[in-house]
Structure 1
């Protein structure tokens, strides 16, 4: 007997149809008038007539069924409405995948960091270890962002994966990290908390990393052949930190550069569109009216990119690219929280406004440009 058959057998053993019906029927008849129940041995099929719309049915049933480790779906088949309820399927966790990607990202960011310290990896491949300070800084920035999302989601009882870091041969050695959410969002409060936790924590760590990096001596680096140099545009928040520390100069220590990356990531994540962090936060703050802002954001970014490219004669492709990227996010819309009518408290609204302002302090028209 293979593992799939064992899981199926265990699933059937744990499926007590009579007990499940007795426990959940009172919740079902509030929103769904039942005229027939069928048992397939693995799921219960409630045939009937909805008393309200599908969104309201989901809102009413999700919490009591989740508490009993049950999942459900509302279908319309052969002219009949049917509510399908079955024991929750436990997703197989593969933490080794998260660990492998983490190790790979540490390796790729260390290589990028070593290049920033002027290491010629072609002649001294083992010297990649010199990129460790940058690795520690960038992983702290990106990791704190995702772990804040993870902690907030767990706090609200949402199902989520551990962070998946993405190793990639960019100039920072990674494309960031993501976590997967499964199941609906309980409320606007949960949506807000999960959406805003990453940017707030990530930005605080970015500020700390920037302060540390600006306090370190910038290494003297001879440009390596065939290696592109990056001219950074410093955002207002970065410049404020520089002035407070009394630091000047265009060259940055790789650790300070990691802080700059954190600010740039915060800015991009806080764009109020689609299912970006900023889209989540604005959706929680404004409700369905946030869709108007989400739809407008690609046009705002496209206008910014064209202004930078044709008026300032600088490289505005980053904004044009993100305009096209966000147009897909905006078109996909945003899923509604289960309890969407309960508005946020004033404290969260204030935190949201302050966070968006901090995000704007991470903005610069030309974030970076490559130089030969």
Structure 2
């Protein structure tokens, strides 16, 4: 009997995570334990589903739906329990020795802000500015505009940046920081490094399907152009991206940082979604054109099973190529490889992790706490699936060390995006699954996706 090491490694990894989680829970308050329980219930169905898929185990989708319903009920129950607990008096920011003195005293700040929008009750010095706790009176977006205008009238447009956020207790808090603490100026060699990495990335893109692989550069530039399109719309400045080449896909994309603060959560969502959204459109068009050109015979012969490693690509291939997939070999135009690689890169950037585009979208809609939970679950799943997929393992290691942290708060960080963006966020996560999950007849037959 052949010994299969994958289940043993997965089981050992799960046990280690559970033991580490149990040890960590003993150090937390009851409120934090319940919060971790909510995050666990939120991620459990998806983590279990992806883990079983990675092991090649088909599960009836109805079971997953029932798990979703039950875990959401548990999530609501734990939330009600948490709301019944006494609220600890904690401010989630601690001034440092270098904080200095506040630029204004509490009385002077009250006089500056007035009482009709935000009445300051507590002031602490922080990094050359101040943390101000108070009572919010009115719409957060309107209050932020009013307070920012008053601050700029007093100190000028470029001296300070005003953030309106919620502290550890959910209390409205104003954080005022010097502009130099918020905005980033690129070092002189940054642009040269970006262009150098782009040139090397185009070489790795070329080798995935010479010479058509160079069109992968079009996907990357469209992705970056989407970010800059929306960033310009909201007056946000971006640093030049640092491109990440890879032999398997040509590139993982680019690491794009904000040079200035983002005005609000809707802007964060729009900037994050625009890049991979435009990249997905370009990749999808390349894939469809490649599938359309494949019947002409100008392509590379491959086994049809190769197309089954992606649910979305396999479904599109069935629609376009039809009966040709019944042959032992099918010819595919090189544009299929380029478009497919572009979709995979887009899906990897849509993962709900840290500073990835998908992570920024989740943070904008659901907040930082939910993002931390999805980051943890996604990294664990990537680690498990990466045992047999070097691309996923490489991507997981990269984001673990570079991209795992959430984005910094927005200038007005209380108002949530509208329901349309929340719905589209779930649609993006579904698209990610369709691109990355393999075609499995036993699993998807229940959904009518073929056999």
Same fold (TM > 0.5): yes
Q: Determine helix, strand or coil for the equivalent of 2:309.
A: coil
CA contact (8 A) 2:301 2:332 kept: no
Compared CA separation, residues 67 and 179, structure 1 to 2 (3 A) = farther
User: What is the aligned partner in structure 2 of residue 344 from structure 1?
Assistant: 417
Give the structure 2 partner of residue 135 of structure 1.
214
TM-superposed deviation, 1:253: 2.4
Shift in CA distance, 152/214, structure 1 to aligned 2, threshold 3 Å: same
1:20-35 maps to which residues of 2 (within 5 A)? 29-30=112-113
Change in 2 beyond 3 A, CA 1:275/1:102: closer
- The residue that corresponds to 1:157 in the other structure is 235
User: Does the 8 Å CA contact 1:163/1:177 hold for their aligned counterparts?
Assistant: yes
CA 1:219 to 1:184, structure 2 compared with 1: closer, same or farther past 3 Å? same
Q: Match of 1:274, SS?
A: coil
Aligned to 1:237: 312
Task: Flag the 1:205–1:351 CA change in 2: closer, same or farther, 3 A.
Answer: same
Of 250, 272, 276, the residue aligned with 1:199 is: 276
Moved more, 267-276 or 101-110: 101-110
State the Cα distance separating 1:152 from its structure 2 match.
Answer: 1.2
Aligned 1:91-102 pairs, distance under 5 A? 98-99=194-195, 101-102=197-198
Question: 2: distance between equivalents of 1:280 and 1:326?
Answer: 14
CA shift, 1:50, in A, is 4.9
CA deviation after TM superposition for structure 1 residue 299, in Å: 2.4
- Residue 364 (structure 1) aligns with: 437
Is the CA contact (8 Å cut-off) linking 1:73 and 1:85 kept in structure 2?
A: no
2:157 paired residue among 55, 60, 68: 68
* Alpha-carbon distance between aligned partners in 2 of 1:51 and 1:220, rounded to the nearest angstrom: 64
- The 1:254/1:159 distance shift into structure 2, 3 A limit, reads same
Whole-Å separation in 2 of the counterparts to 1:209 and 1:220: 14
Mapped to 2, the partners of 1:234 and 1:89 lie a distance apart of 42
2:259 aligned partner: 182
Tell me if 1:255 matches 2:335. Answer: yes
Whether the 8 Å CA contact 1:234–1:364 is kept in 2: the answer is: yes
The gaps in structure 2 that reach 5 residues or longer are 1-103, 122-126, 135-139, 164-174, 440-451
Aligned-pair CA distance for 1:175: 4.3
Aligned counterpart in structure 2 of residue 246 of structure 1, from 306, 321, 324? 321
Q: How does 1:221-232 map to 2 (within 5 A)?
A: none
Q: CA deviation at 1:301?
A: 3.0
| Equivalent residue pairs, number | 289
Pairwise mapping of residues 294-305 of structure 1 onto structure 2 (< 5 A)?
294-305=375-386
Give the 3 Å change call, closer, same or farther, for CA 98–293 of structure 1 in structure 2.
closer
Aligned ranges for residues 107-146 of structure 1 at < 5 Å?
107-110=203-206, 112=207, 116=209, 131-136=210-215, 138-146=216-224
Equivalent residue, structure 1, for 2:22: none
Query: How many Å apart are 1:242 and its aligned residue?
Result: 1.3
Alpha carbons of structure 1 residues 328 and 134: separation in structure 2 relative to 1, 3 Å: closer
Q: Residues 351 and 303 from structure 1, CA distance in 2 versus in 1: closer, same or farther, beyond 3 angstroms?
A: same
1:211 aligned residue (270, 288, 296): 288
Supply the distance in 2 between the matched residues of 1:86 and 1:301 (Cα, whole angstroms): 37
| 1:277 maps to 2:357 | yes
CA contact (8 A) 2:205 2:249 kept: yes
Which residue is 1:147 aligned to?
225
CA distance in 2, matches of 1:327, 1:167: 17
CA distance in 2, matches of 1:82, 1:186: 14
Cα distance, 1:99–1:188 mapped onto 2, change above 3 Å: same
TM-score (norm. length: structure 1): 0.62
Secondary structure of 1:177's aligned partner: strand
How far does residue 287 in structure 1 lie from its aligned partner after superposition? 1.5
Q: What TM-score do you get using the length of structure 2 for normalisation?
A: 0.52
Give a deviation string over 1:144-185, Cα, whole Å, max 9, x none: 1121111111211111134454556x2454443333321222
Question: Cα deviations across residues 201-225 of structure 1 (Å, max 9, x unaligned)?
Answer: 11111110001111224656699xx
Distance 1:239 1:92 in 2: 45
- Would the aligned equivalents of 1:298 and 1:322 in 2 still touch at CA under 8 Å? no
Would the aligned equivalents of 1:266 and 1:362 in 2 still touch at CA under 8 Å? no
